[in-house]
Amino acid sequence: MSILSPTSSVSALFPHREKFPSDDTVFPISWYPIAWASQLKDKPVKRRVVGRDVVVYRDSKGQIHALEAYCAHRGADLSLGKCVADGIQCAYHGWQFNAEGHCTKIPAHPNRPIPEFAKIRAYPVQERAGLIWIYPDDLDVPPDLKLFSELEQPELVLVPYEQTWKAHLTRVVESVLDVAHLAFVHKSTIGKRLSEEIKLVDFDVQEQNQIVIRNGGGLLEYQFPQQWILRPSTPSKSQFINYVTFCPVDSDTTIIFGYAGRTFLRKMPFMNPIFRRYSLKVLTEDKAVVESQHPRPIPEALRMEAHVPADGPQVRFRQRWFQFLASEEPRIILHPGSSQPEKTGGQVVGEPHAPSSHTLS
């Protein structure tokens, strides 16, 4: 579907949506990347994802585990502690926690039973494609993590790069779906030879989480909520790909994890920094503009910003995002004014819960 000509009115294609003031605090629950696997060695590492501070560590077999970052005893930061045979040990009084978040040792009272409440949350976590992915809900069986096949193909050399933007996830996603900015923001890099005029935005939506854009010799594929890849539109022996995925740290900050991948010059590692620098240069060109956008997340209704045919893929993304907000899909709601879900009476405010009743109108 969805080849928009300049004469079609994009804003007429999609319904308006009523304002819902705290949409910027609502995020899908999904597998999110939080760190490079190579960054996690024998010391615990703390990261924040959708407003939750988590600590990740490797056990003695090298297996990765993820727990909430603060000790059940006096709330000390567990990343100050150390990895021990059966889990992680807090730096303050030495309590130990296993992979399920249960306390297994209280050194001050070795002969007393460990109280039931001495536990913290454990999260599903896995290492794939050189990244650590966390599912920010404590499901026993989370859904599969779906990755583009290129990320696990041995014939591709993948050069990692990373940048942090002070921007809401939705604005970051839109920046990689935007065709018309290339000739302006990237006029000295990837947009150098591109026309300012967009005669046609050729994009497809074959299933609800996917947007595919054909742009010159490139084929962009986006998977909701936060994975994107650029491939050549025709297969060739010398293949170059670019991949990005996003970690919404909270409602103001998003980390971009990227790979520049190639099948050529594979045995020339001195080329890797060149690909990394170029990818970061392109991201830096976007950063200033995206961080400047107001409101911080995309607005609560299509009518609140102007759309033209060149914005077709972004409008499709907004439609999917609004569908998410109005549906029963799993979500995390951050506490307004606080990026860290709060604990009250043993309950976590900011837990995934039933969606609000706001609807598309």
Sites of contact with ligand FES (CB under 6 A)? 71, 73-74, 76, 90, 92-95
State the minimum distance, in angstroms, from the CB of residue 343 to ligand FES.
15
**In 3D, which of 343, 317, 345, 337 has the Cα closest to residue 22?**
337
Residue 92 interacting partner from Fe ion, ligand FES, none (CB closer than 5 to 8 Å by kind): ligand FES
Near Fe ion in 256-315, by CB under 5 A = 286
Q: Smallest distance from the beta carbon of 78 to ligand FES, in angstroms?
A: 7
Whose Cβ is closer to ligand FES: residue 109's or residue 166's? Answer: 109
Beta strands across the sheet bearing 82-84: 82-84, 87-89, 96-97, 103-105
71 touches which of ligand FES, Fe ion, none (CB within 5 to 8 A by kind)?
ligand FES
User: Are 310 and 180 in contact, with CB atoms under 8 Å apart?
Assistant: yes
Complex with ligand FES: residue 81 or 330, whichever CB lies closer: 81
C-alpha 108/C-alpha 274 separation (Å) is 54
Kind of pairing between the strands at 45-49 and 347-348: unpaired
Q: Select 95 or 222, whichever has its Cβ closest to ligand FES.
A: 95
By beta-carbon proximity to ligand FES, the closer residue of 97 and 165 is 97
Shortest Å distance, C-beta 342 to ligand FES: 18
Residue closer to Fe ion, measured from CB, 84 or 183: 183
Residue with tokens 């599969």: 144
Q: Work out what residue 286 binds among Fe ion, ligand FES, none; the CB cut-off runs from 5 to 8 Å by kind.
A: Fe ion
Residue 19's binding partner, choosing from ligand FES, Fe ion, none, with beta-carbon cut-off 5 to 8 A by kind?
none
Q: Closest approach of Cβ 194 to ligand FES, in Å? A: 55
Long-range CB contacts (< 8 A, 24+ apart) of 290-297?
Answer: 290/165, 290/167, 290/171, 290/172, 290/175, 291/165, 291/166, 291/167, 293/167, 293/171, 295/24, 296/24, 296/167, 296/168, 296/171, 296/251, 296/252, 297/23, 297/24, 297/168, 297/169, 297/170, 297/171, 297/251
Binding site residues, Fe ion, CB under 5 A: 286
